[in-house]
Amino acid sequence: APNLEDVLRLAEPVRDKVSTVALAAPADEASGLAQRIARWGATRICAVGRMQSPPLGWRHDGRPALGDLVTWTDWEQ
């Protein structure tokens, strides 16, 4: 049976085109798998069935979705 390393190796040709990976794993394994997937390059890891419904504050490709459309002002007092 393939393991995560096998899957990531096979997915290497599309690595720069993948931003989201769905993860279904036992709770005691999920954190380690998510960390490995993030190191591979995914910027969003979600539950199976949630890939097409990102949260409003989601950072598309690791960048704030609305961040390029606004000018931020920091007021330090």
Residue 9 token pair: 């190796």
What is the tally of structural domains in the chain? 1
If pLDDT is split at 50, 70 and 90, which confidence band does 24 have?
very high
Q: Is residue 29 part of a domain?
A: yes
**C-alpha atoms less than 13 angstroms from C-alpha of 20 in its C-beta half-sphere:** 14
| Residue 54 pLDDT level (bands cut at 50, 70, 90) | confident
Residue 44, in any domain of the structure: yes
In a domain, 34, yes or no: yes
- Decide if pLDDT at 1 tops 70: no
Mean pLDDT on 46-56: 91
- Is position 63 within any domain? no
pLDDT of the residue at 76: 81
Would residue 59 count as lying in a domain?
no
Flag whether 12 is in a domain: yes
- State pTM to two decimals: 0.73
In a domain, 71, yes or no: no
Cβ 10 vs Cβ 29: under 8 Å: no
User: Which structural domain, as residue segments, surrounds residue 43?
Assistant: 4-54
3-state SS, residue 57: coil
Q: Model confidence at 51, in pLDDT bands (50, 70, 90)?
A: very high
Give a yes or no: residue 45 inside a domain: yes
Closest CA to 41 of 8, 7, 74, 6: 8
